Amino acid sequence: MAKKFNQPLRMCISCKQREIQGKLIRLQCENAQLSLFKDNGRSFYLCKLCLEDQKKVLKALMRQCKSPDKDKFLNTLKEIITDDRKS
């Protein structure tokens, strides 16, 4: 029987639910700009259910990135979601 390794759990910043790291999307804020994680700096996770409800996730993103610009985050989040679905 193959040994089962533990998979790391991470928490969605919006709904606070814990999920396996591979099922979450990892993002980061650099200079108040939202982007996919690029191997350095602090990051945070969002689950796919929260990405569907953008109003719910918007408050968490603004809190995480410390920026009041809602429209910029919504546009960037839409781009990230569509790029993620293409790949």
pTM: 0.78
Q: How far is residue 60's CA from residue 47's CA, in Å, rounded to a whole number?
A: 12
Mean pLDDT, the chain, whole residue set: 81
Number of domains in the chain: 1
Assess if residue 1 is contained within a domain.
no
Residue with the bigger pLDDT between 11 and 62: it is 11
Q: How far is residue 4's CA from residue 57's CA, in Å, rounded to a whole number?
A: 33
Q: How far is residue 61's CA from residue 45's CA, in Å, rounded to a whole number?
A: 10
Assess if residue 61 is contained within a domain.
yes
Assess if residue 20 is contained within a domain.
yes
**40-50 average pLDDT score:** 89
Q: How far is residue 12's CA from residue 71's CA, in Å, rounded to a whole number?
A: 21
Residue 20 is predicted with a pLDDT of 93
Assess if residue 69 is contained within a domain.
yes
Assess if residue 5 is contained within a domain.
no
pLDDT at 51 over 60: yes
Residue 86 is predicted with a pLDDT of 55
Assess if residue 51 is contained within a domain.
yes
Q: Which domain holds residue 28?
A: 10-86
Assess if residue 2 is contained within a domain.
no
Residue 11 is predicted with a pLDDT of 94
